[in-house]
């Protein structure tokens, strides 16, 4: 080969290599979205807990700590908000959770996050808890944009039998699966297998939804033994459950490293709501006796409540080289994650209904102030709560009505009601709640529950928790 031809060949190879590098640099990121179930705000190491969570802490130390991240007060509504980028009040999923004998789910005319990402060439998988409809195939994950599904469709399962009230709830691609083992471990191991099967040439979205540390309080004895210094048995088991989940997250991170995928993977971690502080929300027949173990300190109350303890949750985002380590300044709502992730994936949100979420990438990636000034905690037919700037109104409407106004910046624990001294602010926020109430769809939970109640035979039991849930707001 002549000197000239050799130079031409070398130049061509250099151009090809440069193009390959450019494609790699521009390749859409993988997304691993991890959700814990009923995890207390204070129950991770980076929030000062005695519970050991080294994997979560590592992600927090190297990523964005979203300390004003808001979810809905309960499981189904939060998962719906994540999947749609829209407040659950828009489609009737604002109240409670879908019970095992109820047949509704997230409406099929809502375009979900996995469908958005599939349109941009992503493989999609849900490993873990769904809880957005289980009564027919049209409501199942495989019909809603997920290529692969593994785990419980409802989620309030026994960790070893995988049953809900004696009925098995463990599936692969919508088909019943008879499998032994501790559910947290099985979910983590399946996530590792999924990552090991991935090609670096095609991006993937893995929705990794643990049922831990939801009741019933169950953990491997070896994990419980490591917390023998915790006197309260419920707290001891709960701590072991959180650590067992953290260990599986560590295995997922190791799998990403092993496959060379870590540097091109966005990881988000959040709890679906605050930890349980009211026995009413501890699970029908699965709640522990004695003190409830979760802590949402310094916030008030917990799961099911519109106070900060029910809605401000542990959350972080991590992507090496792309997300600056530090605390995000200002509020982010779970509805923001769909447009934020879609843009990073190069995916269009065409076909979704009008989004309530906004792109928060600058806040998450650089620590810039959040563009969100309003937080809609929830609006139901008997209560509502919104935040505008630092002012938060909690309005319970069953008579006698209760109106509470808090300055969240100065009083994050919501100890001082400032409503009487600020009637103009109260009126403004009440008007906003009324506006949202006028826009909301009827609650599918209450429609289904009342139909069941009215159609029951005399002497039949009322559906679990229904009357107690409503009565607590009187």
Distances (CA, A) of 15 to 19, 40, 258: 6, 52, 29
Is the Cα dihedral 326, 329, 331, 337 positive or negative? negative
Q: Mind giving me the DSSP string for 201-249? A: TS-EEEEEE--TTPSS----HHHHHTTTT--SHHHHHHHHHHHHHHHHH
Give the list of residues 6+ apart from residue 107 with CB closer than 8 angstroms, or none.
Answer: 91, 92
Distances (CA, A) of 11 to 6, 14, 25, 330, 435: 9, 5, 21, 50, 64
* CA–CA distance, 234 with 224 (Å, rounded to integer): 10
Q: Can the peptide bond before residue 213 be classed as cis, meaning omega within 30 degrees of 0?
A: yes
* CA–CA distance, 216 with 296 (Å, rounded to integer): 19
Give the list of residues 6+ apart from residue 233 with CB closer than 8 angstroms, or none.
Answer: 290
Residue located via tokens 């991770």: 44
Structure letter (DSSP) for residue 464: T
Catalytic residue list: 75, 131
Give the list of residues 6+ apart from residue 53 with CB closer than 8 angstroms, or none.
Answer: 44, 45, 46, 242, 243, 246
CB atoms within 10 A of CB 57: 17
Of 157, 203, 210, 170, nearest to 34 (Cα)? Answer: 210
* CA–CA distance, 118 with 148 (Å, rounded to integer): 12
3-state SS of the chain: helix, strand, coil percent to 5?
35, 15, 50
* CA–CA distance, 140 with 232 (Å, rounded to integer): 39
Q: Are 188 and 249 in contact (CB under 8 A)?
A: yes
* CA–CA distance, 157 with 286 (Å, rounded to integer): 9
* CA–CA distance, 299 with 296 (Å, rounded to integer): 6
* CA–CA distance, 54 with 243 (Å, rounded to integer): 9
Collapsing DSSP to helix, strand or coil, 71 comes out as coil
Distances (CA, A) of 391 to 14, 369, 385, 426, 428: 58, 17, 11, 9, 11
User: At 10, phi and psi to the nearest 5?
Assistant: -65, -40
């Amino acid at each position: 080969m002549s000197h000239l031809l050799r130079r031409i060949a070398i130049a061509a190879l250099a151009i090809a290599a440069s193009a390959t590098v450019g494609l790699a640099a521009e390749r859409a990121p993988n997304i691993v979205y991890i959700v814990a179930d009923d995890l207390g705000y204070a129950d991770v190491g980076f929030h000062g807990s005695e519970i050991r969570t080294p994997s979560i802490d590592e992600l927090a130390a190297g990523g964005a700590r979203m300390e004003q991240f808001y979810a809905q007060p309960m499981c189904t509504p939060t998962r719906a908000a994540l999947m749609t980028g829209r407040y659950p009040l828009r489609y009737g999923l604002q109240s409670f959770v879908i019970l095992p004998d109820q047949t509704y789910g997230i409406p099929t005319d809502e375009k979900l996050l996995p469908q958005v990402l599939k349109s941009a060439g992503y493989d999609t998988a849900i490993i873990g808890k769904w809880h957005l409809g289980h009564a027919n195939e049209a409501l199942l994950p495989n019909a809603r944009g997920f290529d692969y599904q593994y785990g419980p469709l409802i989620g309030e399962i026994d960790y070893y039998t995988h049953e809900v009230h004696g009925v098995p709830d463990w599936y692969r691609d919508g088909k019943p699966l008879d499998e032994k083992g501790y559910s947290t471990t099985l979910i983590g191991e399946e996530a590792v297998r999924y990552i090991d099967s991935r090609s670096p040439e095609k991006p993937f979205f893995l929705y990794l939804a643990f049922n831990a540390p939801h009741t019933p309080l169950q953990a491997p004895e070896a994990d419980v033994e490591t917390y023998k210094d915790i006197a309260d048995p419920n707290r001891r088991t709960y701590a072991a459950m959180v650590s067992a989940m953290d260990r599986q997250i560590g295995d997922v991170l190791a799998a990403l490293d092993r496959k060379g995928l870590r540097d091109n993977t966005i990881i988000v971690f959040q709890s679906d709501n605050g930890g349980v502080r009211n026995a009413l929300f501890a699970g029908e027949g699965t709640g522990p006796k004695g003190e409830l173990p979760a802590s949402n300190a310094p916030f008030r109350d917990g799961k099911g409540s519109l106070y900060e303890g029910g809605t401000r949750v542990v959350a972080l985002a991590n992507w090496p080289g792309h997300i600056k380590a530090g605390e995000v300044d200002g509020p982010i709502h779970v509805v923001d994650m769909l447009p934020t992730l879609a843009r990073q994936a190069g995916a269009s949100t065409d076909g979704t209904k009008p989004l309530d979420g906004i792109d928060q990438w600058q806040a998450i990636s650089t620590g810039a102030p959040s563009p969100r000034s309003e937080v809609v905690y929830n609006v139901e037919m008997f209560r509502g709560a919104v935040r505008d700037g630092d002012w938060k109104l909690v309005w319970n409407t069953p008579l006698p009505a209760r109106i509470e106004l808090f300055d969240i910046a100065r009083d994050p624990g919501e100890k001082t009601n400032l409503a009487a001294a600020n009637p103009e602010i109260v009126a403004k926020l009440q008007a906003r709640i009324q506006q949202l109430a006028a826009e909301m769809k009827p609650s599918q939970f209450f429609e289904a529950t009342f139909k069941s109640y009215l159609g029951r035979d005399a002497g039949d039991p009322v559906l679990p928790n229904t009357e107690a849930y409503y009565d607590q707001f009187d």
